[in-house]
Amino acid sequence: MVMFTLRRFLQLIPVFFGATLLVYFLVFATPGDPIAALSGGKPMAPAVEAALRAQYNLDQPFWIQYGLYLKNLVTMNLGQTFSGQEVAAVIARAYPVTARLAIMALVFEAFFGVLFGVIAGLRKGKLFDSTVLVASLLVIAVPTFVLGFVLQLVVGVQLGWAKPTVSGSAPWNELILPAVVLGLVSLAYVIRLTRASISENMNADYVRTATAKGLSRRRVVVVHILRNSLIPVVTFLGADLGSLMGGAIVTEGIFNVPGIGNLLYKAILKGESATVVAVVGILVIVFVVANLVVDLLYAVLDPRIRYV
Amino acid sequence: MSEKLTPENEPRIPVTPRLGKKSTRVIEHFVAPLEETPLAAVDSVSEGGAPLSLWAEAWRNLRKQPLFIISALLILLVIVVAIAPQWFSSVDPTSCPLADSAEGPRAGHPLGFNLQGCDVYARMIHGTRASLMVGIFTTIGVLIIGGTMGALAGYYGGWLDAILARLGDIFFALPLILGAIVMMQLPAFRDNRSIWTVVLVLVIFGWPQIARITRGAVIENRNADYVTASKALGLSRFSALVKHVIPNSLAPIIVVASISLGTFIVAEATLSFLGLGLPPSIMSWGNDISSAQPQVRNNPSVLLWPAVALSIAVLSFIMLGDALRDALDPKARKR
C-alpha cells in the first residue's frame, strides 16, 4: 500500500508540471500579446509597457518565466489584481464559498442519487425505474445554465421560495438553490451508476449464496448488495468533489455566488492573465490531488484491486 | 471439491405433479431464482449457417429497440434540419424589424420574436447547423487524435504507453470547459472566433477521454488468438493493429463517441453562453440562449425554445449511445 501510494504520488509530478506548463504556455507564449491586451489594443507608453513586462516577468526567457511562476505558485505569492488586491487574499476569500457550495451539492447528489438509484436498481423495469431513468436522461441533456435559469426563475422569482441571487457573505440557506442546480447533473450520473451497479450485483454468486443460506431480503440488500455496489459510486463522488472544488463557472455566474469560478470568469473577461494563470494553477493542484485521493480510496474500498 | 454449482447439477425443487384436482399449494423457493431459457427459445435457435457478426447481431437487436428507433429518427431530423433549414422555415432569420421586438406569437411566426425582432422559430431552425457542426467535427477530431494515441499506447505499451498516458493525464487535469475558456480568451483565438476555433479548442481538451477508452479496448484485444493467428500468417505487427485489433475494439469507442457528441454540443452552447464561443454573427442555439438571457424574466420563451432544441439534440445522441451500448455489449444482452 505504501509503495502504491508512493507510485501514484510520483506519477502526479509530471502531470502537475505538464498541466501548469500548458496553462502558462497557452496564456503567455501564444501569438497575441497579453500586455497589449491590457491596454485594450491601444498603444501604450514604452515606460509603462516595460514596467508591466517586468512586473509579470515577461522580460525574461520563457523557462525562467515559468520557473518564477511555479515558485510564486508554491509560495502563494500570486501578485496583484488590476485593482491592487492581493490575488492570494482574493482566492482565500472566494475559496470557502466554493467549498461550502461543493459540499452542499455533494450531499444533495449523494443522498438522493443513492436513494433513487437503489430503488430503481432493485425494481428494474418497473414504473419507478423507468421514470427515474427518463428524468435522469433529461437532466443530463439540458445544459446546466438552462437548468439554472429555469430554477432561478421558477423557484426564485415566481414562487419566491429562495433568493434568486446570493448575497456577498453567501450564507448556507442562500446556497441551497445553486447547490441543487450544481448537483443535478451529477445526481443523474449517481443514479445511473448506482442502478447499474445494483442490478449487476443482484445476479452475483455471493448474493445467491446469501439468499440460499436464508438471510432476509433486507439484510441481503443492505449488507451484501449495497456494500459491493457502492464502490464505484463512492469513487465517482470523490472525483466529482474534485471537479466541484474547481469552482462552477456557469452556476456561480448565474446565481452570483462569490466563489472561485466567478472570480476566474471575471478575471478572464477583464483579461487579467496573471490572475487567470494563478487561479488555474491552484485549480489544477486541487483537481490532481482529488484524483489521487480517489485512486487511493478505490484501492482501500475494493480489496480486489492490487496495490501495484 | 471439484464439483461446481452450475444450473445443470444444482438441486432442483421437486414439483408435485398435478393429479386432477387443482393444487393450491404454494411452492416456496429457498434458492435464488435460476435463469432458465424457455424451451421454445432453445428450439428456435437454428444451428446451421454462420454465426452473425457482432455488428449484424447488434443491428438485429437495435431494430427492435424503441430507444434506438426514437433516437435515430430524432438525429435524422436534426441532420435534415441542419442541411436544409429552408424546408422548415420560410422566414428569414436575419430580418429583424424592431417593430416586432419581443412580440408574442402570430400567424407565420409560431414562437414569437426576440428583443431584436427576429423570429424565434426561424432562428431555432437555422441555429441547428452551427451547433451540430461543432458536435460532429469535434467528435471526428477527438476520434482521430484520441483514437490514434490510445490505440498506439495500448498496442505497443512500454515507454510509448507511459509517455502518451502522462500526456493524456496532463490534458485531463484541465476540465473541458475550464481549459476551453482559458484558451478561447487568448488574443489569438478571441480575435478569430469561428466554428473551427471552437472545434479546435474542444478537441484539444476533449481527446484524453477517447484515448483512455481506446487504450483499454485495444489492450483487451491485442493478445487475442486471432491477432496471434494473423501475425503467424505473416501480417506485420502494425497491419495486425489496423486490420484486426482496431475493428474489434470499435464498439466501446463508438458508444462513448456518441455520448460525447452530445457533450460537445453542450460545451459549445456553454462557451457561447459565456460569450467565449461562436461569434454573435453565427446563429447557434448557444448564442440565442445567451442573447435571450437578459430578458429571461420578462420573456422566458425566447430562452426556452433554443434550449429545448438543444436538449432534444443532445438527448438523442445520449440515447443513441445508451442503445448502442446495450446492443454491442454481449454481457448485457443476455437478459
Burial B76-108 (b: 16+ CB within 10 A, else e): eebeebbeebeeebebebeebeeebeeeeeeee
Q: Decide: B177 and B267 in contact? Cβ < 8 Å.
A: yes
Using CA atoms, how far apart are residues A147 and A174, in angstroms rounded to an integer?
17
Q: Decide: B165 and B214 in contact? Cβ < 8 Å.
A: no
Is any Cβ of chain A less than 8 angstroms from the Cβ of B13?
no
In chain A, residues with a C-beta closer than 8 Å to the C-beta of B177 are: 249-250
Strand partners, A86: A80
Q: Using alpha carbons only, what angle is made at residue A179 by residues A178 and A183, rounded to the nearest 5 degrees?
A: 120
Using the beta-carbon criterion (under 8 Å), do B187 and A34 form an inter-chain contact? Answer: yes
Using the beta-carbon criterion (under 8 Å), do B307 and A208 form an inter-chain contact? Answer: no
Answer left, alpha or beta for residue B114, where phi above 0 means left and psi between -120 and 50 means alpha.
Answer: beta
Separation in Å, CA B56 to CA A158, B63, B237: 53, 11, 28
Q: What are the tens digits of pLDDT across the range B196-250?
A: 999 999 999 889 889 988 988 888 888 888 888 988 898 888 888 888 888 888 8
Is any Cβ of chain A less than 8 angstroms from the Cβ of B318?
yes
Using the beta-carbon criterion (under 8 Å), do A18 and B166 form an inter-chain contact? Answer: yes
Q: Give the other-Cβ count within 10 Å of B244's Cβ.
A: 19
Per-residue pLDDT averaged across B131-145, rounded? Answer: 94
Residues of chain B numbered 283-302 and touching chain A (CB < 8 Å)? 289, 293, 296-297, 300
Per-residue pLDDT averaged across B9-14, rounded? Answer: 51
pLDDT for position B333: 47
> Is it the case that residue B3 has pLDDT exceeding 60?
no
Using the beta-carbon criterion (under 8 Å), do B188 and A144 form an inter-chain contact? Answer: no
Burial B196-215 (b: 16+ CB within 10 A, else e): ebbbbbbbbbbbbbbbbbbb
Using the beta-carbon criterion (under 8 Å), do A140 and B275 form an inter-chain contact? Answer: no
- Which residues fall within 8 angstroms of residue B206, CB to CB, at 6 or more apart? B138, B142, B146, B176, B260, B264, B267
Grid cell digits, residue B125? 431552425
Q: Which of A149, A200, A241 has the highest number of chain B CBs within 10 A, making it the mutation to test binding with B?
A: A149
pLDDT for position A32: 55
Is any Cβ of chain A less than 8 angstroms from the Cβ of B275?
yes
Using CA atoms, how far apart are residues A101 and A104, in angstroms rounded to an integer?
5
Percent of chain A having pLDDT more than 90? 6
CA torsion B230-B231-B236-B238 (nearest 10°) is: 70
Count CA within 13 A, CB hemisphere, residue A57. 19
**Secondary structure (3-state) at A80:** strand
Greatest C-alpha distance within chain B: 89
Greater confidence (B130 vs B95) lies with: B130
CA A39 from chain centre, in angstroms, equals 33
Q: How far is B99 from chain A (nearest CA, A)?
A: 27
Place of cell 432569420: B93
Q: What are the tens digits of pLDDT across the range B255-310?
A: 889 888 988 998 998 888 888 888 888 888 888 888 888 777 777 788 888 888 99
Q: How far is A108 from chain B (nearest CA, A)?
A: 22
Q: How far is B207 from chain A (nearest CA, A)?
A: 15
Q: How far is A214 from chain B (nearest CA, A)?
A: 7
Q: Which of B164, B171, B197, B273 has the highest number of chain A CBs within 10 A, making it the mutation to test binding with A?
A: B273
Is any Cβ of chain A less than 8 angstroms from the Cβ of B144?
no
pLDDT for position B22: 53
Using the beta-carbon criterion (under 8 Å), do A250 and B273 form an inter-chain contact? Answer: yes
pLDDT for position B137: 95
Greater confidence (B220 vs B6) lies with: B220
Give the residue from chain B lying closest to A19, CA to CA: B170
Using CA atoms, how far apart are residues B21 and A72, in angstroms rounded to an integer?
89
pLDDT for position B237: 85
Using the beta-carbon criterion (under 8 Å), do A271 and B266 form an inter-chain contact? Answer: no
The identity of residue A275, as a single letter, is T
In chain B, residues with a C-beta closer than 8 Å to the C-beta of A214 are: 30
Answer whether 0.95 is exceeded by the pTM.
Answer: no
pLDDT for position B13: 52
Q: Decide: B251 and B328 in contact? Cβ < 8 Å.
A: yes
Using CA atoms, how far apart are residues B197 and B130, in angstroms rounded to an integer?
13
Using the beta-carbon criterion (under 8 Å), do B296 and A19 form an inter-chain contact? Answer: no
Q: How far is A47 from chain B (nearest CA, A)?
A: 23
**Secondary structure (3-state) at A86:** strand
The identity of residue B301, as a single letter, is S
Is any Cβ of chain A less than 8 angstroms from the Cβ of B67?
no
Q: What are the tens digits of pLDDT across the range A107-121?
A: 999 999 999 998 898
Domains of chain B: 57-88+127-328 (1.10.3720.10)
Q: How far is B102 from chain A (nearest CA, A)?
A: 18
Is any Cβ of chain A less than 8 angstroms from the Cβ of B159?
no
pLDDT for position B4: 45
Q: What are the tens digits of pLDDT across the range A233-283?
A: 887 888 788 778 776 888 888 888 888 888 888 887 777 777 788 888 888
Separation in Å, CA B89 to CA A76, B79, B272, B282: 56, 15, 24, 18
**Facing residue for B185 by CB, picked from A144, A243, A268:** A268
**Facing residue for B311 by CB, picked from A37, A142, A283:** A142
**Facing residue for A141 by CB, picked from B191, B293, B315:** B315
- Which residues fall within 8 angstroms of residue B78, CB to CB, at 6 or more apart? B128, B132, B312, B313, B316
* Sign for the pseudo-dihedral over CA of B213, B216, B219, B225: negative
> Is it the case that residue A95 has pLDDT exceeding 50?
yes
Using CA atoms, how far apart are residues B286 and B264, in angstroms rounded to an integer?
12
> Is it the case that residue B5 has pLDDT exceeding 50?
no
pLDDT for position B37: 65
Using the beta-carbon criterion (under 8 Å), do A141 and B297 form an inter-chain contact? Answer: no
Burial class of residue A23, CB neighbours in 10 A (0-12, 13-18, 19+) = buried
